[in-house]
Copies of this chain bind each other. A is one copy, B any other.
Amino acid sequence: MDLVTTSPLSALSADELAARLTSVREEYDELKARGLKLDLTRGKPGADQLDLSNDLLGLPSTYQDRSGTDVRNYGGLEGLIEMREIFADLLGVDVANVVCGGNSSLTLMHQVLTALLIKGGPDSPRPWSQEPVVRFVCPVPGYDRHFTMLAELGIEMVTVPMNADGPDVAAVRAVVADDPSVKGMWIVPTYANPTGSVCSPEVAAELMAMPTAAPDFRILWDNAYAVHHLTEDEAKSADALSLAEASGHPNRPIMFASTSKITYAGAGVAALAASAENKAWYLQRLGFAAIGPDKVNHLRHVEFFGDADGVRAHMRKHRDLIAPKFAAVEEALSSRLSGLGIAEWTVPTGGYFVNLDVVDGTATRVIELAKEAGIVLTPAGSAFPHGNDPNDRNIRLAPTYPGLDDVRAAMAGVALCVELAALESLTRG
């Protein structure tokens, strides 16, 4: 991930700024007059990406796995062994640590959190719901659904900065060391949503080893983009389970992943990986809520991919489709904003998002201007707990779903709005 930093526009005189504001306003009025209808809000695959997996619709060709188990019937709580093997390979863990579930890793995370609240983990003094307060460390900017889930479950959030190599470890240490109510943290370790950060092995090792006041501290390791590379420089996810075990905290991390952005966003397969004790704990809880996952869909995916290398080859087809869209975002932002000193943005090497930071206090205005011009962006602050970006600076861009021409048109408009909002702000000051 590179960070493109621009040079200051603030060097202009008041008159120059006013003139520029007038000119950019005219340009914006022309943009509005075009009546665009574009949407960069969510990290959804485009239809061309979904088409890559259409052979799934005619699969599976049989209804038995290689052991002869009839996948149509009940049972098999931990999922089809062949599917677990694929995830084990992709996540770099032992197949014995992997469980495959339904279509949503978000659901697996929610199951784990509700079980911790209602029952407590294998090393919890009591169910989390019986604690006076439960807190979670949240690197920001981060994934909005992580934060809304915690809010729903009554878990308080403590933010720490997300750096280019992962969460700010010193900040995390300071939060978790003495406060036993801090029970866990979120991390998207690979091509994080929205910054594209990749957690380094060093940061991961520190997170797994650091002292925590809570004996049952959990790191929910949401490796949603483990294999979602945008360049040939493919990031390798840190080996969280081994690092945790080596540091004497085997139960600390619980990994999550899915094929949502590999095959079908609505009809993929999700997986969880954890220590033997955590896995047994999870399966015991799950056994009271389910008889088994959709093993037909597991077999469908196994036939489609063959093995983990099949997934990797498939991901290169995705890369070919979406890398040009990310390039279009970079092109639009840098061609208009480079050198102006009013914006910073990421050039991610994987994942689904570009993180755009604008002049403090103008993110809401940029999004408003874009909306009036027919370009819908994720609401301001959505990458922060309770939607509260304290600097009103952060904008998440999701360029995968629209077509390439729409991304170009939308991003030219966004860049214009960034400049207009900055000029409004600078001329007010």
- Which chain A residues have a beta carbon within 8 Å of chain B's beta carbons? 42, 44-45, 47, 50, 53-54, 57-61, 63, 70-76, 102-104, 106-107, 110-111, 114, 117-119, 129, 145, 148-149, 152-154, 260, 264-267, 285, 288-297
- The 6 residue pairs across chains A and B that have the minimum distance between CB atoms: A110-B289, A267-B296, A152-B288, A72-B264, A74-B265, A50-B72
Q: Once the chains are docked, how many angstroms separate the CA of A102 from the CA of B53?
A: 21
* B110 near A118: Cβ-Cβ < 8 Å: no
* A72 near B267: Cβ-Cβ < 8 Å: yes
- Specify which of B129, B152, B266, B292 is in contact with A266 (CB 8 Å cutoff): B292
* B73 near A291: Cβ-Cβ < 8 Å: no
A145 — which chain B residues lie within 8 A by C-beta? 288, 291
Given A73-B265, A264-B296, A266-B71: A118 in contact with B119 (beta carbons within 8 A): no
Q: Once the chains are docked, how many angstroms separate the CA of A103 from the CA of B297?
A: 11
Q: Once the chains are docked, how many angstroms separate the CA of A14 from the CA of B153?
A: 66
Q: Which residue of B lies closest to A297 (CB)?
A: B267
Given A107-B290, A118-B118, A288-B110: A266 in contact with B50 (beta carbons within 8 A): no
- Specify which of B72, B117, B289, B294 is in contact with A118 (CB 8 Å cutoff): B117
What secondary structure prevails in chain A residues at the interface with B?
Answer: loop
Q: Once the chains are docked, how many angstroms separate the CA of A50 from the CA of B267?
A: 22
Report the minimal beta-carbon distance from A63 to chain B, rounded to whole angstroms.
Answer: 7
* B294 near A73: Cβ-Cβ < 8 Å: no
Report the minimal beta-carbon distance from A365 to chain B, rounded to whole angstroms.
Answer: 28
Given A42-B74, A103-B293, A290-B106: A57 in contact with B63 (beta carbons within 8 A): yes
Q: Which residue of B lies closest to A50 (CB)?
A: B72
- Specify which of B47, B149, B285, B296 is in contact with A288 (CB 8 Å cutoff): B149
Q: Once the chains are docked, how many angstroms separate the CA of A297 from the CA of B106?
A: 19
Given A57-B63, A102-B102, A104-B291: A44 in contact with B154 (beta carbons within 8 A): no
A74 — which chain B residues lie within 8 A by C-beta? 42, 44, 260, 265-266
- Specify which of B63, B267, B285 is in contact with A152 (CB 8 Å cutoff): B285
Given A73-B45, A106-B290, A267-B297: A152 in contact with B119 (beta carbons within 8 A): yes
Q: Once the chains are docked, how many angstroms separate the CA of A294 from the CA of B300?
A: 14
Interface core residue of A54, A106, A289 (most chain B CB under 10 Å): A289
Given A44-B73, A110-B289, A291-B106: A118 in contact with B266 (beta carbons within 8 A): no
A264 — which chain B residues lie within 8 A by C-beta? 72-73, 296
* A267 near B289: Cβ-Cβ < 8 Å: no
Q: Once the chains are docked, how many angstroms separate the CA of A80 from the CA of B96?
A: 35
Report the minimal beta-carbon distance from A84 to chain B, rounded to whole angstroms.
Answer: 16
- Specify which of B57, B292, B293 is in contact with A296 (CB 8 Å cutoff): B57
Interface core residue of A73, A104, A149, A285 (most chain B CB under 10 Å): A73
Interface core residue of A44, A47, A102, A153 (most chain B CB under 10 Å): A102
Report the minimal beta-carbon distance from A262 to chain B, rounded to whole angstroms.
Answer: 12
A75 — which chain B residues lie within 8 A by C-beta? 266
* B154 near A104: Cβ-Cβ < 8 Å: no
- Specify which of B70, B153, B265 is in contact with A47 (CB 8 Å cutoff): B70
Report the minimal beta-carbon distance from A205 to chain B, rounded to whole angstroms.
Answer: 31
A42 — which chain B residues lie within 8 A by C-beta? 74
Report the minimal beta-carbon distance from A329 to chain B, rounded to whole angstroms.
Answer: 21
A111 — which chain B residues lie within 8 A by C-beta? 289
8 other contacts beyond A57-B60, A74-B265, with CB at 8 A cut-off?
Answer: A50-B63, A57-B59, A71-B266, A114-B118, A145-B288, A153-B288, A267-B296, A267-B297
Interface core residue of A61, A72, A107, A288 (most chain B CB under 10 Å): A72
